Amino acid sequence: MESNGRRVVVTGLGVVCPLGLDIPSMWKALVAGESGVDYITSFDASAFDTRFAAEVKGFDPTAYVDRKQARHMDKFSQFAVAASLQAMESARLPMRNGYSEEMGVIVGNSVCGLVSVHEQYRVLAESGPKRVSPTLAPTMTGDAPAVQTSLILGTKGVNYSPSSACSSGSDAIGQAYDMIRQGNTRIIAAGGTEAPITPLVLAAFGNIRALSTRNDDPKGACRPFDAERDGFVFGEGAAIMILEDIDFALNRGAPILAEIIGYANTSDSFHLTKPSPNGEGATRAVHNALKKANISADEIGYINAHGTATRLNDITETKVIKNVFGSRAYKIPISGVKSMLGHMLGAAGSIEALITVLAMKQGIVPPTINLTHPDPECDLDYTPNKARQANIKTAISNSFGFGGHNSVLIFREFQE
């Protein structure tokens, strides 16, 4: 099932996340095994069962846009715009560069602009309907990050925001890859963004017992594949990568960071929150991505795991890896970076894909921190607590979301 389409390369990266406001600071903290989790500061969480999250710290949207523009954006759009501008600079793409009609924007998210919704609901309750801001309508919608990014970058190609729960950012990148591969466009800024740390969302996920309640140890709370894990930790932020047709990138002298060679997504059609038994749906997604990439499972040298630190999902993902790789599963280094970043929901897949590219480029496997009591049912090489060097030629990034979404991306070291 080899693709005969165009080759697609990654030329730029940008990030805003709990470990840093740019690629160098994020990568340094990640490799050092630092945790971005701490007690919530954006609102009083003292009445909640979970009182911590991985918040973005020190972010100022006016470093990227003027105050008026910033006021007309929810936080999830501000994050997306900032990461996109970083990615453009990384790719050496000037603004309004003559490629506008060929350049697109695809930015996934899951819960939309709930920071603005929460603020304006308070206004409604306290002051009545006439006081609700008229800017709420365009700032809270799911497409707002892509729209705002397109406006700032001046792009006139494809422009939308896919929503597939925790797979949203991966699907944005995968759909961008497919469009370029099929020759429909030549360049797309793609990724995910999310700002879910609000009282209502914290209460909702807490009440389905999905969140860790380790309030005495926030930095040790997110424990993928550990026997003492008790749920995931909210994170926020955005990650964007610039994808380009290879000929277009080479002709303009772009810095090529990696090649994307495979993408697949499947649906479990099983349960609203639980994965299908034995990871059948996710296993198919990995197999399909490998077929699309026209490579064998033996070529994979690194896996960036979905790794939520929830009981069932970590066990299921371990089964998926064994289903695909057999006995070789034990020899492949794996990272569970949510242990440091928290779960960024719609942005999780995009930041993990970005980290996969950096792991290949830098020759370093990031660690899974807080893995001190390995679960006997999670017995693979999750790179516990300390990064290590590795020569990675081809790598997979997994995203498996609520609702049975399974999305898999495959990246390869670039060679002309």
Under 8 Å between Cβ of 62 and 68: no
Question: What is the overall mean pLDDT for the chain?
Answer: 94
> pLDDT tens digits, residue range 271-329?
776 777 888 999 999 999 999 999 999 999 999 999 999 999 999 999 999 999 999 99
- Model pLDDT for residues 123-133, shown as the tens digit of each residue: 999 999 999 99
CA distance 383 to 303: 11
Domains detected in the chain: 8-251 (3.40.47.10), 263-412 (3.40.47.10)
Quote the CA–CA distance of 153 and 147 in Å, as a whole number. 10
Q: Which of 222, 343, 378, 405 is catalytic?
A: 343
DSSP 3-state assignment of 9?
A: strand
Of 17, 112, 306, 405, the active-site residue reads: 306
Mean of the pLDDT values across residues 174-179?
Answer: 98
Encode pLDDT of 17-40 as tens digits: 999 999 999 999 999 999 999 999
Q: What are phi and psi of 3, to 5 degrees?
A: -80, 130
Residue-wise pLDDT tens digits, 51-108: 999 999 999 999 999 999 999 999 999 999 999 999 999 999 987 667 788 899 999 9
The pTM for the full model equals: 0.96
Question: Which residue among the candidates 17, 112, 166, 378 is catalytic per the annotation?
Answer: 166
Contact criterion met (CB below 8 Å) for 255 and 380: no
| Residue 139 DSSP symbol | H
Residue 368 has pLDDT above 60, yes or no: yes
Distance CA(145)–CA(142), nearest Å, equals 7
* Annotation says 343 is catalytic: yes
pLDDT number for residue 194: 97
**Which distant-in-sequence residues (6+ apart) come within 8 Å of 64 by Cβ?**
78, 81, 82, 85
Catalytic-residue membership of 118: no
User: Which residue would you say has higher pLDDT here, 278 or 181?
Assistant: 181
pLDDT at 278: 85
Q: Is the pLDDT of residue 372 over 70?
A: yes
